[in-house]
Chains A and B, each alone.
Chain A
Amino acid sequence: MRTSDIFKLAFKALRDRKVRSLLTILGIMIGSAIILALIASSSGLSAGVQAQVEKIGANTLTVSSARQFFASGSSGTQNYQLSQQDVNTIKSFQGVSDVIPYYSQRATISYGGNSIEGELIGVDTNALFTMYKGLNLYSGSLPGSYDPSAAAVGYSIAFPTGSSDQLTLNQMISITLGGQTSGTLTFLVKGIFSAYGRVLFSDIDSTIFISLQSAQILLKTQYFSGLYVMTSTAGDVTTVQQEIETYYGTQVRVMNAGSMVSSVESITSQMTVFLGSIGAVSLFVAAVGITNTMFVSVMERTREIGILKALGYKPKQIMGMFLSEAILSGIVGGVGGTILGYVLSFMIGGALPMSGGFGMSRPGQTGSSTTLTPVFTPELIAFSLLFPIGIAVLAGLYPAWRASKMNAVVALKYE
């Protein structure tokens, strides 16, 4: 018996029970699509975070005061606060090339009819290009160190999506700070940055930058929110981190880009496993569906199996005929599921144009900085095509075997 004949007969059998076959295939499709979409999205997320980390560079450490939520002793224990003294201390460590202190505060930026949720960062503005690799000015210039009213803003503050009001140079903007210091501040826009995207926890495109001195005056504090520590080489990062941690103990929190990548990766890989197993469960349910459908089909066609035996079909051939019905369902389900999953993953990522206009993002947040591009590796595509076929074969094996082992005489009498 020829393989092509086996599949032709299987196709005719599936076509004969269209609705049932389609429902079975739909089950496989959904399982396969969910697996593909979830894995592609979470690896897209991981890749996105990695790209952000790369913008900071591998030779950068961030030092911030540790939040002591559960400080021992009295509840009034103050967090350690970073000052100029710490800048000098860390600068003296072996392998440190520069220490850049900064202030940061959540802020609402308003001008014209726009009100944008963002962040205020006070930093030596000349250091910005060192801190954020690839950042450059779209227009204007950086605020001078001693110009307390000058500011440079991120791209989506100047050009918010969905708003006709746009910022021009030397325009006034007002800032309402969140957190413990409240009140409205006014700045003159001296510079606008090109679109840059997110870096770790901040979205540069919705950040307003002022000089360190201005921030110190306006926020009325000499304590920094954090320090950027640049090491001479990427290889120094670990030793410098250890030096700082040894010196400060648990008073400060030190993060380096590399460890952030690995922690993000561990989170996303756990997520991938978790989401992938949801998909696997649905595929398992689909497999049970195939087995069930095939059992019904074998039972309904008992008489046909008897006829096939009488006509001289070998047990192996009969098994092959039923199994190839499962394989065909698996192939169609796998291909359909892969296509569906591909589309679905873009919907999850929100990168499809259709999901851009739903108004999900807050004003001022551009789509480009928050969307996630799913990642499809050849292995993933192959998996999502082949796994359903494997599942279908396993699910069809037992019913097909039962069919092949049927007693011909009993089968022929079956009504």
Chain B
Amino acid sequence: MPSHANLAVQTIDVTKVYRVGHISYSALRGVNLKIGKRELVSVVGPSGSGKSTLLNLIGALDPPTSGRVIIDGVDLRKLNEDRLALLRNQKIGFVYQTFNLIQRLTAVENVEMPLIAGGVPDKIRRSRSLKMLSAVGLADKANKRPTELSGGEQQRVAIARALVTRPALVLGDEPTGNVDSKTTIEILNYIVQVNRTLGTTFVLVTHNPDVANMTHRMITIKDGLIEKEQYIQRMDSYTGS
């Protein structure tokens, strides 16, 4: 377990209750979680266990019903809408199962989107985005629209978009759920490489045991609670931070 000062993410007694009319449903029922900086973590569990809900809370997209979410030492309760947006823009990258690219924009324009929000000047953001695209092996597809790209290529564009701001934390919601096994391995290798070289913290929600096995730690969630946490014995020579 990482030490307190070195935490990327901490949740304290986090609950989330969804209310639809008179029916309320507890998605999270008191989650205490600590994820260290430079950690590569997977969150697994059956459908409806609360994995994605947890990811949304950590990603500052949704407030918890109770409890606290602390990202990089900052309690999210203390931030207003604008500060939360700024936090997402500067510190967090998202990768989704469905890629969530903007269809009318080209690959490079999609990668530029978070930099535009941050007010990065035209030329700088274009060159950073192109660099990012070539890092994920899509230098020649920069001006293609998502519809002209394969699923794997689209996900690599999404990863480039998540990493272009050099965030401290990247959250993946089934990032390999819609790509073939070959691309899954490519993407995972790239994630491991980024984690190792840049020290980016990754939290990956997944159903895929292969994905979980490549991470440092696997957190299992069931019925809105952490059921177990296990450190993965890795085949490579990863030594931690």
Contact = CB atoms under 8 A, between A and B. Distances in A.
Given A310-B61, A310-B88, A314-B86, A9 B116 contact: yes
Nearest to B100: A307
A309 B87 CA distance: 11
Which one of A1, A13, A311, A408 has the highest number of Cβ atoms from chain B below 10 Å of its Cβ?
A: A311
Given A12-B105, A303-B100, A309 B82 contact: no
Interface string B97-114: 000111011000000011
B142 to A, nearest CB: 16
Contacts of B90: 312
Contact of A312 (B100, B105, B118): B118
Contacts of A5: 116, 122
Contacts of A313: 85, 89, 117
Main secondary structure of the interface of A (DSSP, over half): helix
A314 B105 CA distance: 20
Interface string B150-186: 0000000000010001000000000000000000000
B94 interface: yes
A312 B161 contact: no
Interface in A390-415: 407-409, 412
Given A307-B102, A315-B81, A408 B62 contact: yes
B62 A311 contact: no
Nearest to B99: A307
Contacts of B56: 408-409
Which one of A308, A312, A315 has the highest number of Cβ atoms from chain B below 10 Å of its Cβ?
A: A312
Interface string B112-128: 01101111011000000
Interface string A311-326: 1111111000000000
Interface in A359-386: none
A312 B104 contact: no
Which one of B85, B94, B96, B118 has the highest number of Cβ atoms from chain A below 10 Å of its Cβ?
A: B85
A2 interface: yes
Contacts of A409: 56, 61-62
Interface string B39-64: 00000000000000000100101100
A310 B59 contact: yes
B104 A13 contact: yes
Given A2-B119, A412-B100, A315 B82 contact: yes
Nearest to B85: A314
A289 to B, nearest CB: 22
A315 to B, nearest CB: 6
Contacts of A408: 56, 61-62
B119 A310 contact: no
A311 B88 contact: yes
Contacts of B113: 307-308, 311
Nearest to A4: B122
Nearest to A9: B116
Contacts of A309: 61, 85, 88
Nearest to A307: B100
A7 B101 CA distance: 20
Contacts of B104: 12-13, 16
A163 to B, nearest CB: 63
B86 A312 contact: yes
B61 A311 contact: no
A176 to B, nearest CB: 74
B230 to A, nearest CB: 28
Interface string A294-310: 00000000011011111
Given A316-B82, A408-B62, A409-B56, A311 B114 contact: yes
A315 B104 CA distance: 22
B116 to A, nearest CB: 5
Contacts of A2: 116, 119, 121
B206 to A, nearest CB: 18
A1 B82 contact: no
B102 A312 contact: no
B81 A314 contact: yes
B237 to A, nearest CB: 34
Contact of A1 (B59, B105, B119, B122): B119
A312 B89 contact: yes
Nearest to B92: A312
Which one of A5, A12, A308, A310 has the highest number of Cβ atoms from chain B below 10 Å of its Cβ?
A: A310
B238 to A, nearest CB: 29
Nearest to A16: B104
Contacts of A307: 100-102, 113
B131 to A, nearest CB: 18
Nearest to B59: A310
Interface string B203-228: 00000000000000000000000000
A304 B92 CA distance: 18
A412 B62 CA distance: 12
Given A16-B104, A408-B61, A311 B94 contact: yes
Interface string A232-273: 000000000000000000000000000000000000000000
A312 B61 contact: no
Contacts of B96: 412
Contacts of B118: 1, 312
A110 B223 CA distance: 104
Interface of A: 1-2, 5, 9, 12-13, 16, 303-304, 306-317, 407-409, 412
25 contacts: A1-B117, A1-B118, A2-B121, A5-B116, A5-B122, A12-B104, A303-B100, A306-B100, A307-B100, A307-B113, A310-B61, A311-B88, A311-B94, A311-B113, A311-B114, A311-B161, A312-B85, A312-B87, A312-B90, A312-B92, A312-B114, A315-B81, A315-B82, A408-B62, A412-B61
Interface of B: 56, 59, 61-62, 81-82, 85-90, 92, 94, 96, 100-102, 104-105, 113-114, 116-119, 121-122, 161, 165
